[in-house]
Amino acid sequence: MAVETRVRPVAPDEPERPARGGDRTLNAFSHGFLVLWAVLVVVPLLWAVLTAFKSDREIFTNPWGLPSTWHVENFVRAWTTANIGRYFLNSAVVVCAAVVLVMLLGAMVAYVLARYEFPGRGAIYYTFVAGMTFPIFLALVPLFFVVQNLGMLGTYHGLVLVYTAYALPFTVFFLTSFFRTLPGALVEAAMLDGCSHAGAFFRIMLPLARPGMISVGILNFLGLWNQFLLPLVLMPDSDRYVLSQGLAVLAANQGYRSDWSALFAGLVIALLPVVAVYVAFQRRIQDGLNVGALK
C-alpha cells in the first residue's frame, strides 16, 4: 500500500520589518544625545590641551585659537618648578600598589564567597555590598584617628591600605558575580589530580577570570587616581602629596603668580595617565563587562 507523503513547502524568510516611526525617533534622539555628550567631553579636553601650549598673554587675548607659538617649556616648568613631577610619582607609587593589593585580596575573597558554602557567607557578602553605599565623608574623622593611632599618618603604606579598603567592596561585588559564572568542573578535576585549593585558584580560576580582573582593575585605577578626600585628610606632609593635592596647591599658587600656562600644563599632565589607560584598555573594559553580563 503506497503511503502518500506530503512535503510542506518551506516559507521563505520574511523580510525584516522596517523600523517604525517611534523607533526611528528614539534612535535619532539617542544618537543625538551621545553626540552632544561627546562634544561636551571632548571640547573642554582639547581646549585645555591647546591652552597648555600658549603663553599667559595669549591665554587671555586668544583663548579659542591655536597657539601662535607652541610653548613646550610650560610642561617643563610645571614638572620641575611646580613639583608636579614629584606629585605624579607619589600618585603612581600609591595607586599602583593599592590596585595590585586590592585585586589580589578582592579576587581571593570573591572566589571564596562564590565557590564555597559556609555559615555567614551571605552576611559577609552583603557587608561588602553595604560598604559600597557608605558615604566616605562619614568615615573621614574616625579614619584619621585610626590611621594616626597606628602610626601610619602621612605615610605611603598607610594611604595604600586605606585605598585598598576603599576599593575592596566594589571589587568583591564585581568579581563574586564573575567567579560564579566560571565552570566549577575544572576545579573538581584539578582537585582529583591532587591540586590544592590555592593551586586551583591561582592556576585555573584566576587565569579564567582575566577579563573581569582587567575590567575592575582599570576601574579601580581610574577611581583611585582621581581620589582627593582621602589623601587630603591622611597625607598632611607636603613632600608626599599625591597628584590631586598637588594640583590644588598648583592652582592656588599659580593663580597668585599669574602663571596660568604652567597650571594648564599641570592639568594636562594629570589627565594623561587617565586618558592613556582608557584609550589603551577601553576594548578590554567592554569585553570584561559584556562577558560578565552574558554569562
Inform me whether the pLDDT recorded for 101 exceeds 90: yes
Confidence of residue 126 (pLDDT cuts 50, 70, 90): very high
* Cell 614638572 sits on residue: 79
Inform me whether the pLDDT recorded for 156 exceeds 60: yes
Q: Where are the domains of the chain?
A: 73-294
Q: What is the pTM of this model?
A: 0.80
- State the Cα–Cα distance between residues 16 and 28, nearest whole angstrom: 20
CA 121 to chain centroid, in Å, comes to: 27
- Per-residue pLDDT tens over the stretch 3-37: 444 545 544 454 555 556 567 777 888 888 888 98
Residue 15 φ/ψ, nearest 5 degrees:
-65, 150
CA angle 254, 260, 264 (to 5 degrees): 105
Inform me whether the pLDDT recorded for 76 exceeds 50: yes
Inform me whether the pLDDT recorded for 149 exceeds 50: yes
Residue 289: strand, helix, or coil: helix
pLDDT at 180: 87
Which residues are CB-contacts of 201 (< 8 A; sequence separation ≥ 6)?
A: 108, 111
pLDDT at 276: 84
Question: Which of the following CATH numbers is that of domain 73-294: 3.30.420.40, 3.30.2350.10, 1.10.3720.10, 1.10.357.10?
Answer: 1.10.3720.10
- Per-residue pLDDT tens over the stretch 257-281: 677 888 888 889 888 888 888 777 7
